Amino acid sequence: MLAPQTLPLASSKPSIYGNLDSAQIPSLQRMSLMRNSKHRIRNLRLRFSIQSSAAQEVDKRSKSGKDHVEILSEALPFIQKFRGKTIVVKYGGAAMKSDALQASVIADIVLLSCVGLRIVFVHGGGPDINQMLQQLDIKPNFVDGLRVTDQSTMEIVSMVLAGKVNKRLVSLINKAGATAVGVCGIDGRLFTARPSAKSPQLGFVGDIASVDPSILRPLIDSNYIPVIASVAADQNGQSYNINADTAAGELAAAVGAEKLILLTDVAGILENKDDPGSLVKQIDIKGVKKMIEDRKIAGGMIPKVSCCVRSLAQGVRTASIIDGRLKHSLLLEILTDEGAGTMITG
């Protein structure tokens, strides 16, 4: 009989190395191990990068939180100083033309009201008046920088200031979380006007003959924010366009304000009008008069400074002319030592 043949066992799975020679297999194994090692290293690096980024983000948040707390802590003495005091703010210029700056001013007003300051908000609205006149195909006229206001223009001024602009600001303040009430100088005889000395050239442009803040006191005492359009009427009921700076200054004196703030398009009072870096941070009335004599204060700055001086002479503690082009300039002026312009003292 023939002896049975022993056949080699065949694997049911094909070799992962296919038909390669056995001498080549160790080299392939080493290459596979190297690829696996590189893959693990990449994974470790990725994991370390993610962990490091997360740690940096936590650290950044922690620093940011500490910064916020430190800022609030530094603001506390100023909040305590002005809490319960009346601050009259005149709003206009660049801060009125830019949506971003307008939002910044509204946010500042609401925050200051929330921490206990009594804010009275006075506004003009020159750009809106010009826009409406343009839509009606009426060309605006100016004499020495002051608007010529005939009867038809006065009607448009009243409509725009006491209507469109005033109610828009009231709405924005209400939306931001405070409660505002819109009035103009005619309401409750808040302002009684008289013709200005230049009325023959300017038309219905007036000065303020008297202020009666009776209509405002219940609003201020109830923590409402009065928003006041600078339109007034004389004793015969004739409406006049009133300079908003002048209106704010006279009102600040009448309500016994702690501080008057004028938002403007300049950094403040400059020692050299051609050098923005020559800002005068603080000055008294005597110093202001000297700068006017030396013609360092001139042009459109004179009426602003004059209304500040007049309000100080009537009992307002300080008056500031600040840069309305800076975001949160009101907070910088009231809640920091740095300020945002020039503060004038009595």
Tokens read off for 272:
């050299």
Top-confidence residue, 224 or 278: 224
Mean pLDDT, the chain, rounded, equals: 84
User: Over 60: is that where the pLDDT of 176 sits?
Assistant: yes
Task: Answer for the pair 216, 261: CB distance below 8 angstroms, yes or no.
Answer: no
What's the token pair of residue 283? 């000055």
In 3D space, the residue among 93, 116, 70 whose CA is nearest the CA of residue 105 turns out to be 93
pLDDT tens track for 79-126: 889 999 999 999 987 677 788 888 989 999 999 999 999 999 999 888
Closest CA to 208 of 187, 180, 178, 231: 231
Residue 281's pLDDT band, with cuts at 50, 70 and 90, is very high
Which helix (H) or strand (E) is 158 found in, with range? helix 151-158
| pLDDT digit string, tens, across residues 181-229 | 999 999 999 999 999 888 888 899 999 999 999 999 999 999 999 999 9
Tallying the residues shown for the chain, one arrives at: 346
In this prediction, residue 10 carries a pLDDT of 47
CA distances from 269 to 148, 244, 254, 262, 322 (A): 28, 19, 25, 12, 9
Mean pLDDT of 30-52: 59
- For residue 2, pLDDT over 50 is answered with no
Q: What pLDDT is stored for residue 94 in this prediction?
A: 67
Amino acid at 180: A
Name the most confidently modeled range: 6-10, 135-139, 271-275, 281-285: 281-285
More confident residue, 25 or 143: 143
What is the residue whose two structure tokens read 């103009």?
A: 184
CA distance 273 to 330: 23
Query: Which whole number is the average pLDDT over 126-146?
Result: 84
* pLDDT at residue 11, rounded to an integer: 47
Q: Which range (7-11, 60-64, 315-319) has the least confidence?
A: 7-11
Structure tokens of 171? Answer: 């709405």
Give me the pLDDT at residue 62, please: 55
In terms of pLDDT, which residue wins out, 258 or 70? Answer: 258
pLDDT value for 74:
81
Mind listing the pLDDT tens digit for each residue in 287-334?
999 999 888 888 778 889 999 999 999 999 999 999 888 889 999 999
CA distance 159 to 175: 23
**Separation in Å, CA 122 to CA 162, 181, 247, 254, 302:** 11, 12, 8, 14, 19
- Round to whole Å and give the CA distance between 129 and 162: 11
pLDDT at 12 over 60: no
Phi, psi of 195 (to 5 degrees): -60, 140
Least confident of 68-77, 134-143, 255-264: 68-77
187 secondary structure, DSSP code? G
Task: Return the pLDDT at 126.
Answer: 84
Q: DSSP character for 338?
A: S
- What is the rounded CA–CA span in Å between residue 240 and residue 55? 63
46-55, 131-140, 252-261: segment of lowest average pLDDT: 46-55
